Amino acid sequence: MPLNNLRGRVAFIFEEEDFDVDQIVGVKNIKITDVNELASLAMSSYDPDFAKKVQPGDLLVGAGNFGYGHPHYPPMRAMRHLGIAGVIAESFSPGYWRGEISMGFPQVSCPGILKLVERWDEVEVDWQAGLVRNLTKGTELPFEPLSKSDEQMLLAGGLVPYLKQTTPPSELTAERKGH
């Protein structure tokens, strides 16, 4: 079973290299756990009307080494709550990448994406073809394939369901009789 293609508008383009995702909700709000409150704060310093403009399925676009620093989970929790379906970036920082894939949140590493799209273009991530398509402009670019385990984790919907689906009881760390 392949991953469902992503299709939506480019809701925002983070043009800054090494972007620290904590800035999305603001560092002072990082410890907030209520997702509604987080969502109401998200993007306030970038586009105060973001929440009103975004539609379910929309995507974010980032520059190189997106998620650098010590990224926390609340910013992207807020983004998912607003309907954001994934992030396409020139490249990603490993800590951020691992963290968000484990949440089952699609991340697409696509060198050249900043030149391919403008804000509000409609784009499609075709997992099978390995292409990001700009449906508004009729252009496309290949993206870097996911590792097998990353793909399985996205398919499963996150870390816990992935581990449940892919770990036979004999491979659990549990102590067993006769062990």
Partner 1 sequence: MGFTITEKILARAAGVPSAKAGDELMAKPDFVLAYDFPGYTDVYFKSMKEDFGIERVAEPERFAIFIDHMVPATTPKEEELHIGTRTWCKENNVPLFERKGIGHQVAAEVGYATPGAFVVHFDGHISQLGTFGTLAIGMRRNVLEAFVREKVSIRVPHTVRVNLSGELTPGVMARDVFHHLVRTMGPASCRFQVLEIGGPALKSLTTEGLQTITGLAMFTGAITAIVNPDEERLAYALPRARKKLEPVFSDADADYAAVYDIDLTGLEPVVVIPPTPSNTRNLSDYLGLEINAGYLGSCASGRLEDLRIAAQILKGRQVKEGFMLNVIPTSQEIMAAAGREGLISTLAEAGAFVSSPSCDYCFGRIATMTEKQRAVSTGTLNVRGRMGSPDSEIYLCNAATVAATAIEGKIADPRKYL
Residues in contact with partner 1 by CB under 8 A are 17-18, 20, 22, 26-28, 30, 64-65, 68-70, 91-95, 97-99, 102-103, 147-149, 159-160, 163-164, 167, 171-176, 179
DSSP secondary structure string for all residues of 12-46: EEE--TT--GGGGT-GGGTT---HHHHHHHTTTTT
CA distance 82 to 45: 16
Minimum Å gap between C-beta 137 and partner 1 is 28
Nearer to partner 1 among residue 54 and residue 87 (C-beta): 87
Nearer to partner 1 among residue 97 and residue 143 (C-beta): 97
Minimum Å gap between C-beta 52 and partner 1 is 25
Nearer to partner 1 among residue 57 and residue 161 (C-beta): 161
Minimum Å gap between C-beta 108 and partner 1 is 15
Nearer to partner 1 among residue 103 and residue 124 (C-beta): 103
Residue 100 CA from chain centroid, whole number: 6
The number of C-alpha atoms within 13 Å of 110 and in the hemisphere containing its C-beta is 30
Nearer to partner 1 among residue 52 and residue 179 (C-beta): 179
CA distance 168 to 41: 42
CA distance 139 to 151: 25
> Is there a contact between 125 and 88 (Cβ–Cβ < 8 Å)?
yes
Minimum Å gap between C-beta 145 and partner 1 is 11
CB atoms within 10 A of CB 164: 9
Minimum Å gap between C-beta 82 and partner 1 is 22
